[in-house]
C-alpha cells in the first residue's frame, strides 16, 4: 500500500510539474497538449470493429527503434493486424507520428487505474510489446487481469536496479506481470531470478543489432554530404553530441582544416546550434549547404579544393533529425556523444555497424554494448580532449591499428544479430497471433 501511495503521488507531481514549466518548456507543452481529448480521438479511431490489434509502447525514439524490427516483422507475417504505437515522450511521438508502418500512433494516457482500463478496452489488443524499460503499474495490472500477453523486449538490468532494492516491491510486482522477458544479457537473467522470475526468460540480446544492420544495408546516399566530404579526405562524424562532447572536439577541428567534421548535435534548437557554431569556427549548417547546392549559388563543386574560401569550411553541422544513423557510413572515424555527461553514451551500434572505429567518453558503465565494443577493440574510450586528439592522430597515421578497429567494430555488430527472430519464434510457437 505504501508503494502504491508514493507511486500515485509521483504521478500527480509529474503532471503538476509539466503544467508548471509548460509556459517556457516546449516538451512539457507537447506532453500536455498531446493528451488533451485523447480518449475522444482513440474512440473515433477504434469505433468500428477491428482486426486483431498489436500494441507496442515505447518511452521515446530510442526505444521505438529497438522495437521496430519486431513490429515490422509482425506486420509482414500478419498483414491483417492493426498496429498501434504509444509514446510517453514528445521526442518520440513528434518524430514518429507519421510512420507508415503503424495504423495508429498516440501518446500513452497518463497512468491511472481508470485511464489504463479505458485505453485497453478501446484498443482491445491481442498482443502487447513493451520496449526495454519505463513500466506503468496500472497498465500492466490491467493487461494481466485481462490475460493479454505482454512481452518485454530488449530489457537490461544492473545490480542497483530498483526491483532489487528494499523499496522496490512495486517494480518487482510489475516485472511479474510480463508474459515473457527478452533480455540483453545473462547478468540480467540472473538478476530477475533473484525476484523469482526463472521460467519466462530468454536471453535474446538487443534488437538494435538487427535494426542497425538493416539501416546500414539499405542506407541511401546523401549528395550534399558526399559533396561536402569530397574524395580522399579524412572525415570524422560525431553523432548525438552534447556541449561536453563538442568541447572535446572543437580544438582538433579548428586546428585541422584538412580534415572534415560532421557534427550531429543531440538537440537542434536554435540556441544549441548557435553554441555549436561558436565552438567550430569554420562551420556551415546542413540546411544552408543544401540551399546553396539546390539553387546553384556558391562553388559547391569545389568544396574539396584548396583555392577558394568556401573550401576552408571543414565542419558541417546537422540541423535536422533522422539522418544520423546513415551519416556514419561517410566517416573515417566516428565519435558518439553522451559519454561525458550524466546520462551516458548514446547508440554506438549505429556507428560500429559500418566498420569504423568508435570513440566515446567514459560514462558507459550501464551500456553493455559500449563496454563490449571497447573490449573487442572496435570502441575506444577517451577521457579528455588531449586523448581524443591523440587517438585521432594515431588512427589516421597507423593503418594497422585503424584496420583492426574497423574489423572489430563490424564483426561485433554482425555476430550479435538474431534477437528479432527469437522473439518472432516465441510468438509463433505460442500462437499469440492468428493469421486470419
Q: What is the pLDDT of residues 208-222, one digit of tens each?
A: 999 999 999 998 889
Neighbours of 157 (CB within 10 A): 23
Q: What are phi and psi of 147, to 5 degrees?
A: 60, 40
- Judgement on whether residues 60 and 16 belong to the same structural domain of the protein: yes
pLDDT digits (tens, 9 = 90+) for 268-324: 999 999 999 999 999 999 999 998 877 655 444 444 444 444 457 999 999 998 899
pLDDT digits (tens, 9 = 90+) for 390-431: 999 999 999 999 999 999 999 999 999 999 999 999 999 999
- Structure confidence at residue 293 (pLDDT): 79
How far is the C-alpha of 44 from the C-alpha of 131, rounded, in Å?
Answer: 26
- Structure confidence at residue 47 (pLDDT): 74
- Structure confidence at residue 65 (pLDDT): 92
- Judgement on whether residues 149 and 246 belong to the same structural domain of the protein: no
- Structure confidence at residue 209 (pLDDT): 97
- Structure confidence at residue 316 (pLDDT): 97
- Judgement on whether residues 315 and 363 belong to the same structural domain of the protein: yes
| CA Rg value for the chain | 23
The answer to whether 38 and 44 have CB atoms below 8 angstroms apart is: no
Q: What are phi and psi of 241, to 5 degrees?
A: -85, 150
- Structure confidence at residue 311 (pLDDT): 54
- Judgement on whether residues 228 and 186 belong to the same structural domain of the protein: no
- Structure confidence at residue 436 (pLDDT): 59
Residue 339 lies in a domain: yes
How would you write the chain as a 3-class SS string? CHHHHHHHHHHHHHHHHHHHHCCCCHHHHHHHHCCCCHHHHHHHHCCCCCCCEEEEEECCHHHHHHHHHHHHHHHHHCCCCEEEEEECCHHHHHHHCCCCCCCEEEECCCCCHHHHHHHHHHHCEEEEEEECCCCCHHHHHHHHHCCCCEEEEEECCCCCCHHHCCCCHHHHHHHCCCCEEEECCHHHHHHHHCCCCCCCEEECCCCHHHHHHHHHHHCCCCHHHHHHHCCCCCEEEEEEECHHHHHHHHHHHHHCCCCEEEEEECCCCHHHHHHHHHHCCCEEEHHHHHHHHHHCCCCHHHCCCCCCHHHHCCEEECCCCCCHHHHHHHCCEEEECCCCCCCCCCCCHHHHCCCCCEEECCCCCCCHHHHHHHHHCCEEECCCHHHHHHHHHHHHHCHHHHHHHHHHHHHHHHCCCCHHHHHHHHHHHCCCCCCC
How many separate domains does the chain show?
Answer: 2
- Judgement on whether residues 346 and 294 belong to the same structural domain of the protein: yes
Q: 193 lies in which domain range? A: 2-205+418-429
- Judgement on whether residues 185 and 258 belong to the same structural domain of the protein: no
- Domain CATH code at residue 326: 3.40.50.2000
- Judgement on whether residues 196 and 251 belong to the same structural domain of the protein: no
The answer to whether 412 and 372 have CB atoms below 8 angstroms apart is: yes
How far is the C-alpha of 269 from the C-alpha of 31, rounded, in Å?
Answer: 18
- Judgement on whether residues 162 and 261 belong to the same structural domain of the protein: no
- Judgement on whether residues 180 and 289 belong to the same structural domain of the protein: no
Q: What predicted TM-score, i.e. pTM, was given to this entire model?
A: 0.88
- Structure confidence at residue 49 (pLDDT): 59
Neighbours of 212 (CB within 10 A): 26
The answer to whether 379 and 409 have CB atoms below 8 angstroms apart is: yes
The answer to whether 111 and 136 have CB atoms below 8 angstroms apart is: yes
Within the chain, which residues score under 50 in pLDDT?
Answer: 298-310
- Structure confidence at residue 91 (pLDDT): 85
- Judgement on whether residues 193 and 298 belong to the same structural domain of the protein: no
- Structure confidence at residue 394 (pLDDT): 97
- Structure confidence at residue 157 (pLDDT): 94
Residue 434 lies in a domain: no
Amino acid at each position: 500500500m505504501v508503494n502504491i501511495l508514493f507511486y500515485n503521488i509521483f504521478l500527480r507531481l509529474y503532471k503538476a510539474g509539466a503544467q508548471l514549466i509548460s509556459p517556457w518548456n516546449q516538451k512539457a507543452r507537447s506532453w500536455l497538449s498531446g493528451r488533451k481529448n485523447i480518449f475522444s480521438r482513440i474512440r473515433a479511431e477504434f469505433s468500428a470493429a477491428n482486426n486483431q490489434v498489436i500494441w507496442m509502447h515505447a518511452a521515446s525514439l530510442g526505444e521505438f527503434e529497438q522495437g521496430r524490427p519486431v513490429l515490422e516483422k509482425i506486420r509482414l507475417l500478419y498483414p491483417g493486424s492493426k498496429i498501434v504505437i504509444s509514446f510517453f515522450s514528445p521526442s518520440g511521438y513528434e518524430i514518429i507520428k507519421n510512420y507508415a508502418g503503424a495504423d495508429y500512433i498516440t501518446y500513452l494516457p497518463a497512468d491511472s487505474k481508470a485511464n489504463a482500463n479505458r485505453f485497453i478496452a478501446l484498443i482491445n489488443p491481442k498482443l502487447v510489446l513493451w520496449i526495454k524499460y519505463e513500466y506503468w503499474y496500472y497498465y500492466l495490472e490491467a493487461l494481466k487481469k485481462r490475460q493479454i500477453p505482454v512481452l518485454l523486449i530488449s530489457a537490461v538490468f544492473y545490480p542497483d536496479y530498483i526491483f532489487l532494492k528494499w523499496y522496490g516491491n512495486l517494480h518487482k510486482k510489475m516485472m511479474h506481470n510480463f508474459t515473457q522477458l527478452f533480455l540483453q544479457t545473462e547478468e540480467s537473467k540472473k538478476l530477475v531470478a533473484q525476484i523469482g522470475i526463472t521460467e519466462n526468460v530468454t536471453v535474446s540480446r538487443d534488437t538494435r543489432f538487427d535494426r542497425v544492420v538493416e539501416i546500414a544495408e539499405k542506407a541511401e546516399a546523401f549528395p550534399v554530404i558526399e559533396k561536402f566530404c569530397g574524395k580522399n579526405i579524412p572525415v570524422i562524424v560525431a553523432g548525438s553530441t552534447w556541449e561536453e562532447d563538442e568541447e572535446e572536439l572543437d580544438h582538433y577541428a579548428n586546428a585541422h582544416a584538412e580534415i572534415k567534421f560532421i557534427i550531429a548535435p543531440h538537440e537542434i534548437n536554435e540556441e544549441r546550434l548557435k553554441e555549436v557554431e561558436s565552438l567550430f569556427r569554420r562551420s556551415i549548417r546542413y540546411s544552408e549547404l543544401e540551399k546553396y547546392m539546390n539553387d546553384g549559388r556558391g562553388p559547391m563543386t569545389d568544396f574539396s579544393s584548396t583555392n577558394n574560401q568556401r573550401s576552408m569550411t571543414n565542419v558541417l553541422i546537422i540541423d535536422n533529425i533522422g539522418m544520423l544513423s546513415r551519416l556514419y557510413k561517410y566517416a573515417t572515424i566516428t565519435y558518439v556523444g553522451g559519454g561525458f555527461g550524466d546520462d551516458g553514451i548514446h547508440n554506438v551500434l549505429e556507428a560500429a555497424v559500418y566498420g569504423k572505429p568508435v570513440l566515446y567518453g567514459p560514462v558507459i558503465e550501464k551500456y553493455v554494448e559500449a563496454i563490449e565494443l571497447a573490449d573487442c577493440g572496435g570502441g575506444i574510450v577517451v577521457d579528455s580532449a588531449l586523448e581524443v586528439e591523440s587517438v585521432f592522430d594515431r588512427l589516421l597515421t597507423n593503418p594497422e591499428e585503424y584496420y583492426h578497429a574497423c574489423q572489430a567494430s563490424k564483426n561485433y555488430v554482425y555476430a550479435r544479430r538474431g534477437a528479432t527472430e527469437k522473439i518472432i519464434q516465441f510468438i509463433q510457437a505460442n500462437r499469440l497471433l492468428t493469421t486470419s
